[in-house]
């Protein structure tokens, strides 16, 4: 289960500080393909680093993942870690990459009700529930991987999800401001919020799930509220 992860890449080798674009642009499905084949040794080190990070998380929780520790555990210099992943957040996101890709594949081409084939409303419901549980499973990692507020919404994975929701919404409520609505719905799925509601307020997941369904119903002005 691990090795697939180690081989998939997310970030450009040297992520030049990319200026955010003013216009929402076309869906950038596979945000990867940024790795124009690493040099042999680099690839090896990359895998070693991800493996080390995984081990450290398992042992000391996501909080215990120090860049220096990961470097040491992978028997590699600190600079190498940064060169490969840009920063701490980048490393952690690389660990989430596998599951992110899978989710994306599921709702883009997987079986109904998540994938195409089901009516939009059902897909939207299923989407929220799927994200909800995925996030719940990986809470600590998701939280630790949260970048500084300024970048939170610009990252490829988030944008892909938001875009998907936007598209579904456009089918359901064509004459609303679907971009805003989508952003909003995504807010409900924010890892930090899920953490707060479940861990700090003690809400069970069913309630969050029901909340999502209800929310979708309200936003789309569908009946069946609760």
Q: Is the peptide bond before 113 cis (omega within 30 degrees of 0)?
A: yes
Question: Which of 43, 121, 197, 205 touches a second copy by CB under 8 A?
Answer: 197
Spell out, one character per residue from 4 to 33, where the chain touches DNA: x when CB under 7 A holds, - when not: ---------xx-------------------
Report the alpha-carbon distance of residue 226 to residue 179 in Å, rounded: 25
Q: Is residue 87 close enough to count as binding DNA by CB under 7 A?
A: yes
Minimal CA–CA distance to 10: which of 84, 81, 88?
Answer: 84
83 binds, among a second copy, DNA, none (CB under 5 to 8 A by kind): DNA
CB neighbour list of residue 12: distance below 8 Å, 6 or more residues apart: 34, 35
224 binds, among a second copy, DNA, none (CB under 5 to 8 A by kind): none
38 binds, among a second copy, DNA, none (CB under 5 to 8 A by kind): DNA
Question: Which of 120, 146, 167, 170 touches a second copy by CB under 8 A?
Answer: 146
Question: Which of 82, 133, 153, 188 touches DNA by CB under 7 A?
Answer: 82
Question: Which of 39, 174, 200, 223 touches DNA by CB under 7 A?
Answer: 39
Q: What is the CA radius of gyration of the chain?
A: 19
Q: Is residue 154 close enough to count as binding a second copy by CB under 8 A?
A: yes
CB of 124 to DNA, least distance (A): 35
CB neighbour list of residue 213: distance below 8 Å, 6 or more residues apart: 125, 128, 129
Q: Is residue 47 close enough to count as binding DNA by CB under 7 A?
A: no
Interacting stretch for DNA, rule CB under 7 A, among 69-77, 97-105, 119-127, 215-223? 69-77
CB of 197 to DNA, least distance (A): 24
Q: Is residue 177 close enough to count as binding a second copy by CB under 8 A?
A: yes
């Amino acid at each position: 289960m691990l090795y697939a992860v180690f081989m998939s890449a997310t970030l450009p080798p040297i992520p030049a500080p990319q200026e955010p674009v003013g216009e929402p642009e076309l869906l950038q499905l596979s945000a990867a393909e940024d790795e124009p084949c690493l040099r042999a040794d680099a690839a090896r080190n990359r895998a070693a680093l991800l493996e080390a990070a995984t081990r450290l998380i398992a042992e000391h929780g996501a909080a215990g993942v120090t860049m220096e520790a990961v470097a040491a555990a992978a028997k590699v210099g600190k600079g190498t870690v940064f060169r490969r992943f840009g920063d701490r957040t980048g490393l952690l996101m690389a660990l989430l990459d596998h599951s992110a890709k899978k989710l994306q594949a599921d709702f883009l081409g997987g079986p109904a009700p998540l994938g195409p084939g089901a009516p939009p409303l059902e897909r939207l419901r299923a989407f929220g529930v799927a994200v909800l549980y995925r996030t719940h499973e990986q809470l600590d990692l998701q939280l630790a991987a949260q970048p500084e507020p300024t970048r939170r919404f610009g990252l490829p994975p988030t944008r892909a999800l938001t875009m998907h929701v936007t598209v579904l919404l456009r089918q359901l409520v064509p004459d609303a401001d679907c971009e805003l609505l989508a952003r909003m719905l995504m807010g409900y799925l924010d890892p930090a919020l899920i953490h707060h509601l479940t861990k700090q307020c003690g809400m069970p997941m069913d309630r969050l799930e029901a909340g999502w369904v209800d929310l979708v119903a309200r936003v789309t002005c569908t009946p069946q509220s609760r």
